[in-house]
Amino acid sequence: MIHELSDVQSNSIGCNTRIWQSVVVLPGAIIGDDCNICSHCFIENDVRIGNNVTIKCGVQIWDGITIGNDVFIGPNVTFCNDKYPKSGNKNFTLLKTVVGDNDSIGANSTILPGITIGENAIIGAASVITKDVPSGIKVIGKW
Ligand SMILES: CC(C)(COP(=O)(O)OP(=O)(O)OC[C@H]1O[C@@H](n2cnc3c(N)ncnc32)[C@H](O)[C@@H]1OP(=O)(O)O)[C@@H](O)C(=O)NCCC(=O)NCCS
């Protein structure tokens, strides 16, 4: 289901994936089966999202971000891909982020650029993730 009030420019949307109001998906993005992309999300081009992923409202998935299968991303989680941002940054260096299978990221957390989160991790609400997260652990607050 692709809601008529969304702007989905990608043809790579899996079966049974639901995309709700005011979501923008750019043409290069690849999204798997059985996902739920809630309203007011933005998904850029160089993005790969696995199967059975839930992305709650108000999340931006920028270029260079890969999300595994069975991932939960809470409302207003913030990803980044530029470590030293400037307006019109001539020295922009894209840093890639990987979210592992079965991860859950709590509401309003910030994931700094270039982070790998292992599988089966839980990130508490409003955490700030500054370095890689090993598989299977729970992180609360600054990591
Ligand atoms: C982290 C979380 C998974 C709970 O884990 P838990 O091990 O059951 O933690 P507890 O509830 O037993 O709390 C343990 C301690 O951590 C604190 N804590 C729990 N979550 C916290 C958070 N997100 N930020 C800061 N501290 C937190 C508790 O206050 C408690 O502190 P205390 O020992 O000083 O009393 C949960 O609190 C959380 O953040 N879930 C995400 C919710 C969310 O964003 N949902 C999105 C969809 S609505």
Segment 30-86, tens digit of pLDDT: 999 999 999 999 999 999 999 999 999 999 999 999 999 999 999 999 999 999 999
Task: Determine what percent of the chain is predicted with pLDDT higher than 90.
Answer: 100
Q: Is 128 in the pocket of ligand 1 (CB under 6 A)?
A: no
Question: 57, 72, 140, 142: which to mutate for ligand 1, most atoms within 8 A of CB?
Answer: 140
Ligand 1 atom nearest residue 108's Cα: 44
Question: pTM to 2 decimals?
Answer: 0.96
Beta carbons within 8 Å of 90's beta carbon, 6+ residues apart:
none
What's the confidence (pLDDT) of residue 55?
A: 98
What's the confidence (pLDDT) of residue 24?
A: 98
What's the confidence (pLDDT) of residue 106?
A: 98
How high does pLDDT run on average in the chain? 98
Nearest 5°: CA angle at 112, between 109 and 117? 75
